[in-house]
Chains A and B, each alone.
Chain A
């Protein structure tokens, strides 16, 4: 296995086990490693990859498929996806089997509720980091705010709102 593939395994394998709070919570860590530590892609490319995974169907964790592709082509894409999924999934599988037997314990409840606020903070942080990397101007922040508000108070399909953002982006800049 080449050195690069080994690095991909390490980065995404450890991210898999560290991604408490779901896919978006690990985005800041992934950006730190793939852009700043390893330099597999620029922060601009990272933000674009993030946007692409937001508008394609499927779990947003498939961001790692694109990151892996940037790092080492198709082999990198496949390996990054597998490395991101397998470690956490094995852990979840083991816990699921235990859970199906044991039921609810106080430490379960405490762990879930205690980590939840940190997870919320991580999601906010991922939004800020992405916004900063795409050179957010006043108009971009306006789109961000509008999209956030619309999605926060309505049940509109996120895809529709993200596409509307694209149309607005086009209109704002071609005027």
Chain B
């Protein structure tokens, strides 16, 4: 990287990432644009960045925009990256939502939306499946994931309480494993 890209370039790059991806495809696209197309980070840097973004609260993609923007151009870069990521999609969501309000009582639209919602739930499960295959490697992580499903979906336990109850066990398990 010879020269830091301008704030406008950073914003446009993240706008491109947002518009070219849907639902779960965002992190793949971020890598495509940030590492391969623009050469702003190496693969290794990008991996450690995504790691931080997953640990910390916040949407992973927004967090990644903060990380990359900050690295490229400080606070101005971070703000540009986040604005680029959410400005146009935010307007799109509202427009689609408004159209939906006008047509929601048409039976055909309801059937289409029900089908889409059902498939969107499938998308959610497939994301969990991908993450789960890498994560649920032994009894303790399986227990943690299962308990989380039970507490969150069945008992509607607030997230802070779930983290308070299960977080220490997860940390202890991973801490011992990191030593081995």
Contacts and interface: CB of A to CB of B under 8 A. Distances in A.
Interface residues of B, number: 98
A136 B118 CA distance: 8
A147 B118 CA distance: 8
Chain A, interface residues (CB within 8 Å), range = 35 or more
A161 B119 CA distance: 7
A75 interface: no
B2 to A, nearest CB: 20
Nearest to B120: A54
Q: Tell me if A's interface is mostly helix, strand, loop or mixed.
A: helix
Contacts of B174: 109-114
Given A48-B100, A169-B112, A28 B152 contact: yes
B119 A110 contact: no
A112 B54 CA distance: 7
The 8 closest A-B pairs by CB, nearest first: A169-B115, A58-B89, A165-B119, A121-B148, A88-B58, A147-B122, A114-B170, A61-B59
Contact of B145 (A32, A36, A121, A147): A121
B51 interface: yes
Q: Tell me if B's interface is mostly helix, strand, loop or mixed.
A: helix
A65 B90 contact: yes
Most central of A69, A108, A149, A152 by chain B CB within 10 Å: A152
Nearest to B23: A158
B175 A167 contact: no
A112 to B, nearest CB: 5
A113 B145 contact: no
10 contacts: A28-B153, A54-B116, A59-B18, A62-B90, A93-B75, A113-B173, A119-B54, A119-B131, A120-B132, A162-B116
B4 interface: no
A119 B145 CA distance: 7
A93 B74 CA distance: 9
